[in-house]
Structure 1
Amino acid sequence: MKKSLIALSLALTTAFAANATVTYHEPDAQMEANLNAYGAGVENWEEARLTQLTMADSHLYHHYALIHNNPEKALELKVIGGLDVSKIMLDNVIPGKKISLYDVMRDRAAIQNYVVMNKKGEIIAEDYWNGTDKDTKNHIMSAHKSFTSMAIFIAEREGFLKMSDPIGKFAPEVKGTQWENIPLQNFADMSAGAVDLPDSRPDYHWGSYGAGTTGSWDSNMPSVMGYNGLHVVDGKLLPKADNLGQLNTFSDYLKIFATTTSPKYAPGEVYEYKDVNTEMLGLAIVRSSGLTLSEFFEKYLWSKGGFTSDMTMYVNQAHESAASGSANMTARDFAIGSLLMANGGKNHLGEQVLPKGYVDAILNGDDSVKAAWSKVSYEYMIFPTAFYKNQWRTATHPVTGRTISTMIGVNGQYSAFDHENGNVISISGAYRQPSGQQMVMLYMFDTMFTIFDKLASNSK
């Protein structure tokens, strides 16, 4: 790493750390060098073929914010056991032959680690593979969206904003466009009408995978948020230039997005999964509170939720973080995120961390989001008995009738809770096929529903 880059990074870190508890850090040069030996690094780390190399402690090759937990409120974790996934046998692939769920999870699903908790937060089972352990901070990809939704509903409770507010109240970049008057709630439900995105760079690896006419995001948006590293331009530390040229802040991107795209559908009409929806939520949090996203997380969520370790978010030179996918946390803390939901938004001390109404909305959905689910998105074809509310997917098993709500990341990052009994599963995956039918089968049906069913039967 060049000395000028290091010096600039340290200057930024020192200046900002004096005014905030959150601290900002530069990449670990040795981590980048280690990845380079495998043809991986910060510029291409999220390519599906590389995920088993890059998902663990990925903040170490990014500029990142370190978000501290509160030891005084941390859940005291107890490992009580009671579930052995190697004893659960599946016979749904090769006729007449069974394979253990342990083997399915580790080998077929490329799960790097998982944690199973009961509603009390006691650990029933956990395993760590591919060199990870209980202290590894796993990149949770789009499961970060669910944490961002927790944050914006906390922001509403704290009086910073209302979910009925139009996005234009916080984003002058969209004034005079068709985006201006769309309420924040529609962005939370992925029903703002966003379909088309600015063009990605020609070699962008996601291509057109996903719902609608484009992928879930274009290459420009994550680039400007520091997702693929920063470099020095004319003595300044800046994001990498992308298809739209040198964009330095999310505001630069948003101006182009708002003036070159328009909603394809009326607000609330269809569910369509686009990451820009979540970025609108992050923008509203930041501009209404006066805090960076990482600072807001630390003050209002991470220091209160019972989390046991620090978490991180990738940042750019302006300390902006992608609200839709920049977080890294331990498997245990990933589970605690769902544990909060399973306990009605309360932490283990009985304190109401998340608004109860927010939790109830995710549990029950509403007529609008249930009708919107089947209109456009390919997800309906994979899981018709589901809906999307407040950046969570709630799904009912078509045979057993068991209902769960889950966060989901594109390479198999899941944190889910069972509506019946509050059991929780977190999974840090490195699946090399982004989303799709195979991943849903392996992660949701073979793994999560099987475990939840087993735990339910054990309790009877």
Structure 2
Amino acid sequence: MKKSLIALSLALTTAFGANATVTYHQPYAQMETNLNAYGAGVENWEEARLTQFTMADSHLYHHHAVIPAPIDKMPIKVVGGLDVSSIYIDDVVPGKKISLYDVMRDRASIQNYVVMNKRGEILAEDYWNGTDKETKNHLMSAHKSFTSMALFIAQEQGLLKLTDPVGKYIPEFKGTKWENIPLQNFADMNAGIIDLPANREGYHWGDFGAGTSGSWDSSMPSVVGYNGLVINKEGKLVPKPDALGNLETFSDYLKAFAAQIEPKFEPGFAYEYKDLNTEVLGTAIVRSSGLTLAEFFDRYLWSKGGFNSEATMYVNQVHESAASGSMNATVRDFAIGAWLMVNGGKNFKGEQVIPKAYIEQIINGDKIVKEAWDKVSYEHGIFPTAFYKNQWRTATHPVSGRTLSTMIGVNGQYSAFDHKTGNIIAITGAYRQPSGLQMVSLYMLDTIFNIFDHLDK
């Protein structure tokens, strides 16, 4: 690796301060080399065809922040009692059955999972595709739910208010139609973000996913280091140029977005899944606290929540992270995130970590988010009995009536809790078809609801 790159990375870390608990790291060159043998690397790692190579420990081929393992860890006890290989469901071939173990490992391309009860005991877990208990799985958009936890913690700390207009924290939106939209609308993804800037030519997500332009445009993740950093002609470490040009910071992106895109609807009218909503929330956290996103997580969430292991986030050259999908964590810690929700936001010592009101809003929803669900997004066609609140989806099974709330990532990252029993399932997948009917059927209907039903018998 080039000496100038190493020197710059060390300088950035030193400039932050020697006493920092969060540390910042360069990509591991050997990891990139190993991936290149399969045609994969930091430039194209999120392509669906490559996910089974790239979802585990993906921070290692990115510039990344490491959030240290907490001192106070939630005790983990494996009690067993659930054998997914003994659960059979109807196969697609009439008259045949298939074990849930085979469905999860083979058809759903699940990399690992944990089933936990409300007491924090592990009832079942499996690790496939070379992963283990310490593998840091890329959480994709399930990171959004952790960001929303941090957002409400920031409100509890008096740093911001969800009723505040976004322009208070995003001056790049001043003088535009975005300026006076409350933060809460961005938390519920009904702020009116429908259209996005154009993608770079050949961008592999294309128009997949939602509305008119996918869930994000190619420039937004690029500017926060999602596809690596480069040395420019001046010898400076910067994000790769993209459709909007040579953007160096997320502020540059916000200015470019606001200059060409306006809200499509009035705030609250239509739910539409756009990652920029979450990035607005992350920016509000960062600017109101004076901390990077990784540092805020470390101080207020990760160190207090009873998580067991390190977590990581991709970063750019100024330590900005995507709030909507840069986090990597073990599947056990992914489960602990939902366990905190089940236990009213309190950690294993009974200390309040996540505001209780935040959890109640997610469980119950409200009239606005329920009416906004079917206005634009394709999601209501797949799961009509659902709503989106505070960066979580809450869904009721159309037959059994069982209700769960879940974090969701695009390639099968779920951490769900059952409203009735408090049981928890955390799954990190590498499903090669992002989102859509097949993934929802395999992960939610065949696996998650099925296991919750089985445990409830």
TM-score w.r.t. the length of structure 2 is: 0.99
Which amino acid letter does the alignment assign opposite residue 11 of structure 1?
A
**C-alpha deviations, 1:71-112, integer Å up to 9, x for none?**
2x2111000000000000111411111110000000000000
Distance in 1 (CA, whole Å) between partners of 2:90 and 2:380 is 26
Looking at structure 1, the residues matched to 454 and 348 of structure 2 have their Cα atoms a distance apart, in angstroms, of: 25
Partner Cα distance (2:173, 2:18) in 1: 33
Question: Residues 106 and 112 of structure 1 are in contact (CA less than 8 Å); yes or no, is this contact kept in structure 2?
Answer: yes
What residue in structure 2 maps to residue 198 of structure 1?
197
Q: In structure 1, what residue type is equivalent to 2:271?
A: Y
Comparing 85-94 and 421-430, the one that deviates more: 85-94
Q: Quick check: 1:309–1:330 contact (8 Å CA) kept in 2?
A: yes
CA contact (8 A) 1:114 1:128 kept: yes
**1:3 corresponding residue in structure 2:** 3
Contact 1:5 1:231 in 2 (8 A): no
Which whole-Å CA distance do the structure 1 matches of 2:181 and 2:280 have between them? Answer: 11
Gaps of 5+ in 1: none
- Give the Cα–Cα distance (whole angstroms) in 2 for the partners of residues 406 and 333 of structure 1: 15
Contact persistence 1:17–1:24 (CA under 8 A): no
Local SS of the residue matching 2:77: coil
Q: Give the letter aligned to residue 412 of structure 1.
A: G
- In structure 2, what is the equivalent of residue 18 of structure 1? 18
Secondary structure of 2:167's partner? helix
Letter in 1 for 2:226: Y
- Aligned residue type for 1:196: D
**Superposed CA offset, 1:267-306 (max 9, x none):** 0001000000000000100000111100000000000001
Query: Map of 1:33-432 to 2, 5 A cutoff?
Result: 33-71=33-71, 73-233=72-232, 234-432=234-432
CA displacement 1:116-138 (0-9 Å, x = unmatched): 00001100000000000000000
SS of the residue corresponding to residue 114 of structure 1 reads strand
Distance 1:213 1:91 in 2: 36
Moved over 6 A (4+): none
Shift of 1:244: 0.9
- Aligned mates of 2:52, 2:250 — CA distance in 1: 29
Task: Give the deviation of 1:347 after TM superposition.
Answer: 0.9
Separation in structure 1 between the aligned mates of residue 156 and residue 447 of structure 2, nearest angstrom: 35
Deviation at 1:15, TM superposition (A): 2.5
In 2, Cα distance between the equivalents of 1:45 and 1:253?
A: 22
Q: Secondary structure at the match of 1:238?
A: strand
SS of 1:381's equivalent in the other structure is helix
How far apart, in 2, do the equivalents of 1:42 and 1:15 lie?
A: 26
Higher mean alpha-carbon deviation, 85-94 vs 387-396, is at 85-94
- Matched AA of 1:4: S
Aligned residue-pair number: 456
d(CA) in 2 for partners of 1:28, 1:68 = 18
Quote how far apart the aligned CAs of 1:428 are: 0.4
The Cα of 1:6 is off from its aligned counterpart by 2.1
Q: Is the 8 A contact 1:293 1:321 kept in 2?
A: yes
Kept in 2, the 8 Å contact 1:117–1:424? The answer is: yes
User: Could you say what secondary structure the match of 1:200 adopts?
Assistant: coil
The answer to whether the 8 A contact 1:40-1:50 is kept is yes
What's the CA shift string for 1:216-237, capped at 9, x where partnerless?
0000000000000011111111
RMSD: 0.7
Aligned-partner residue type, residue 16 of structure 2:
F
Write the distance in 1 (CA, Å) between the matches of 2:13 and 2:96. 56
Equivalents in 2 of 1:219, 1:121: separation in Å? 39
Aligned residues of 1:114 and 1:127 also touching (Cα < 8 A): yes
Task: Provide the secondary structure at the position in 2 that maps to 1:360.
Answer: helix
Deviation at 1:210, TM superposition (A): 1.3
Letter in 1 for 2:26: E
* Corresponding residue SS for 1:276: helix
Offset of 1:423 from its aligned partner?
Answer: 0.5
- Whole-angstrom distance in 2 between the partners of 1:189 and 1:249: 25
Deviation at 1:20, TM superposition (A): 2.0
Residue type of the alignment partner of 1:67: I
Letter in 1 for 2:11: A
The worse-fitting range, judged by mean Cα deviation, of 197-206 and 2-11 is 2-11
Identity across aligned pairs (percent)? 75
Q: Aligned partners of 2:40, 2:88: CA distance in 1, in Å?
A: 36
Gaps of 5+ in 2: none
Report deviation, 1:203. 1.1
Residue identity matched to 1:47? E
For residue 7 of structure 1, report the CA deviation from its aligned partner. 2.2
Q: Distance in 2 between matches of 1:19 and 1:330?
A: 26
Q: CA deviation at 1:5?
A: 1.7
Q: Distance in 1 between matches of 2:369 and 2:311?
A: 31
Distance 1:420 1:12 in 2: 48
Name the SS of the counterpart of 2:81 in structure 1: coil
Distance in 2 (CA, whole Å) between partners of 1:307 and 1:190 is 28
State how far apart, in whole Å, the 1-side matches of 2:10 and 2:428 are.
31
